[in-house]
Amino acid sequence: MPTESPTILVIDDDPDIVRAATLLLERNAMRVLGAADPDAAWVRLAEGSVDAILLDLNFARGRTSGEEGFRLLDRLIAADRNAVVVVVTGHSGIAVAVQAMRGGASDFVIKPWSNERLLATVQRAVALRRAKLAAAPAPAGEEALLLLGEAPAIEAARGLIGRVGPTDASVLLTGPPGSGKTLAAQLLHRASLRAERPLETLDAAVADLPTIAARVAAAAGGTLLIEAVDQLAPALQPELARRLGGLRVLSTSRCDRAGTRAALSDDLRFRLNTVEIDLPPLAGRGNDALLLARHFCALYAGRYGQPLRPLTEEAARAIAADSWPDGVHGLRQAIERAVLLGSGAAIDVSALGLVLPEDTLEPRAIKADLNLGRSEAALVAAALKRHAFNVSRAAAELGLTRAALYRRMAKYGL
């Protein structure tokens, strides 16, 4: 094994299984992360890449179909084409394990396992992962691309990305701002045979003829992503359609299907919409906002060298109830602010910039703003209001001394 210690993610709802795997693998110079369910697994993956994944296929007692595990396996492979997954199954689940291998798993281990067998299997998995990365390394410094969520529309979008990503088919992505259109486009490019070639972006809203010519030339042999294609000037549409030969073309639109079709010339529309993928607003995705929030907590804690702090129950309820008018972008910014500016052992409502007015149980998101001065002012004002301007209590909540809070109050005119 290389001198760098590999990291193994064990996804199993049985803590004894996670503990046993951890003891064995850590004795053999490996780092082990545990996750009790798929949601926890995505949080772990947000913290950084792993060299191999041990995946139990069932997360509820008495279940043997592996249905939940198969869904997670599909998502792991779709999120990272170089992922190496070893499924873990009981004696009666060999047929299920073989089915999982057909779905992309690299190997399987039977419970109760032999330590020698498990160790050898994990070592092979790590070697396979590193061989894959050596053959097709991920771009340096790029975070994992994950289209997270359990909403049916997101499941459908992931399925389409998995099916058409490896092809050269043109894809039109529609949906409101912050719904994940650009992320989906990046995943389509990452899954394609052109993944090592450029992914160039053309902002149709401000494009002119020289810009179109430059972006098309830069994308030669790769993929051209046309952002806000519905806003491209009608006079430029025939010229763009004429220049798209030899490229893989992806495009996004904030309009619905009918609006996008009405905004495009026939020639350009036929060139762009071989496959259409519609992405829903975050407010229409059920519990996905909370799943994404926990993902972003881990992502930014790692990025800024902060401890990974959980969400309080009140914060989790507020996130789930909020309408998030700015979509995933707004949620992401709120979590980033909370990681940067929050204090205490957990992330609470005030750190998120959410308020719970007395006249309603529905939270209202403070407008997403990454200016740290304005964000701090909003957090200080919210804490003071919540404690009826009791400076001692507000300072304690914010993790400040009374003097430090008074300085901030003076600074922001509070």
Query: pLDDT digit string (tens) for 49-84?
Result: 899 999 988 776 666 667 778 888 887 887 777 889
Residues 52, 70: Cα–Cα separation, whole Å: 17
Q: What's residue 58's pLDDT?
A: 78
Report the length, in residues, of the chain: 414
Q: What's residue 303's pLDDT?
A: 76
Nearest in space to 43 (alpha carbons), one of 374, 241, 246, 290: 290
The total of other beta-carbon atoms located within 10 Å of residue 127's CB is 16
Element (H, E) at 199: strand 199-203
Q: What's residue 1's pLDDT?
A: 44
- Please give the full DSSP string across 12-34, using - where no structure is assigned: -S-HHHHHHHHHHHHHTT-EEEE
The amino acid at residue 141 is G
Please indicate, yes or no, whether the overall pTM of this predicted structure exceeds 0.85: no
Helices and strands (H and E) in the chain: how many: 18, 12
Q: What's residue 115's pLDDT?
A: 93
Give pLDDT tens digits for 294-351: 888 887 887 777 888 889 888 888 898 888 888 998 999 899 989 888 778 889 888 8
277 three-state secondary structure: strand
Domains of the chain and any CATH numbers: 7-135 (3.40.50.2300), 152-280 (3.40.50.300), 288-412 (1.10.8.60)
Low-confidence residues of the chain, pLDDT below 50? 1-2, 139-142, 357-362, 364-372
Residues 361, 357: Cα–Cα separation, whole Å: 7
Q: Which residue has the tokens 């994944």?
A: 53
**Cα 46 to Cα 145, 172, 232, 264, distances in angstroms:** 9, 28, 36, 38
Q: What's the token pair of residue 6? A: 């590999």
Half-sphere exposure of residue 12, counting CA atoms within 13 Å on the CB side?
24
